[in-house]
Amino acid sequence: MLIDDLSAALPADRLVRDPDVLRGFAHDEAEWAPHALPAVVVRPHTAEEVQTVVRSCLRHGTPLVTRGAGTGLSGGANAVEDCVVLVTDRLRAIKEINEQERLAVVEPGVVNDDLRAACAERGLWYPPDPASSPWSTIGGNVATNAGGVCCVKYGVTRDYVLGMQVVTGTGELVRLGRRTAKGVAGYDLAGLMVGSEGTLGVITEVTLRLRPARAAERTVAGYFDTTVAAGEAAAAVAACGILPSALELVDRHCLAAVDAWKNMGLSTDANVVLLGRTDAPGAQGEHEASVLLECFEKAGATWAAQSSDQAEADALFAARRLAYPALERLGPVLTEDVCVPTQAVPEMLARIDRAALRHDVVIANIAHIGDGNLHPLLVTPPGDETARKNAQAAFEDIISGALDLGGTVTGEHGVGLLKQPGLTRELGPAVLELHRAVKRALDPQQIFNPGKVFHEGTPA
Q: Cα torsion for 199, 200, 204, 208, to the nearest 10°?
A: -100
Task: Return the closest-CA partner of residue 275 out of 319, 239, 240, 242.
Answer: 319
Question: Cα 238 to the chain's mean position, in Å?
Answer: 22
Q: Which of residues 182-221 bind a copy of itself (CB under 8 A)?
A: 182-189, 191-192, 194-196, 200, 211-213
Does 178 bind a copy of itself (CB under 8 A)? Our answer is yes
Q: Is the CB of residue 147 less than 8 Å from the CB of residue 159?
A: no
Does 8 bind a copy of itself (CB under 8 A)? Our answer is no
Site map (CB under 8 A) of a copy of itself, residues 239-258, x = contact: x-xxx---------------
Among the listed ranges 107-115, 181-189, 311-319, 359-367, the one in contact with a copy of itself (CB under 8 A) is 181-189
Among the listed ranges 6-14, 22-30, 300-308, 435-443, the one in contact with a copy of itself (CB under 8 A) is 435-443
Distance CA 418, CA 407 (A): 17
Q: Binder to a copy of itself among 11, 24, 123, 457 (CB under 8 A)?
A: 123
DSSP-H helix ranges across 157-275: 189-193, 227-238, 252-262
Sign of CA dihedral 427, 430, 431, 433: positive
Give least dist CB 153 to a copy of itself, A.
Answer: 10
Give least dist CB 234 to a copy of itself, A.
Answer: 11
Q: Binder to a copy of itself among 47, 111, 156, 398 (CB under 8 A)?
A: 156
Q: Binder to a copy of itself among 134, 381, 406, 457 (CB under 8 A)?
A: 406
Q: Binder to a copy of itself among 35, 102, 375, 388 (CB under 8 A)?
A: 102
Q: Binder to a copy of itself among 4, 82, 96, 159 (CB under 8 A)?
A: 159
Task: Return the closest-CA partner of residue 112 out of 92, 95, 91, 135.
Answer: 135
Q: Cα torsion for 429, 416, 391, 386, to the nearest 10°?
A: 100
Distance CA 276, CA 304 (A): 11
Give least dist CB 129 to a copy of itself, A.
Answer: 14
Does 454 bind a copy of itself (CB under 8 A)? Our answer is yes
Side-chain-side CA neighbours of 174 within 13 Å: the count stands at 13
Among the listed ranges 8-16, 98-106, 257-265, 269-277, the one in contact with a copy of itself (CB under 8 A) is 98-106
Q: Which residues, 6 or more positions from 294, have their beta carbon under 8 angstroms from its beta carbon?
A: none
Does 456 bind a copy of itself (CB under 8 A)? Our answer is no
Q: Which of residues 267-326 bind a copy of itself (CB under 8 A)?
A: 280-284
Q: Binder to a copy of itself among 181, 357, 396, 455 (CB under 8 A)?
A: 181
Does 55 bind a copy of itself (CB under 8 A)? Our answer is no
Looking at the DSSP assignment, which residues form a beta bridge with residue 66?
86
Does 235 bind a copy of itself (CB under 8 A)? Our answer is yes
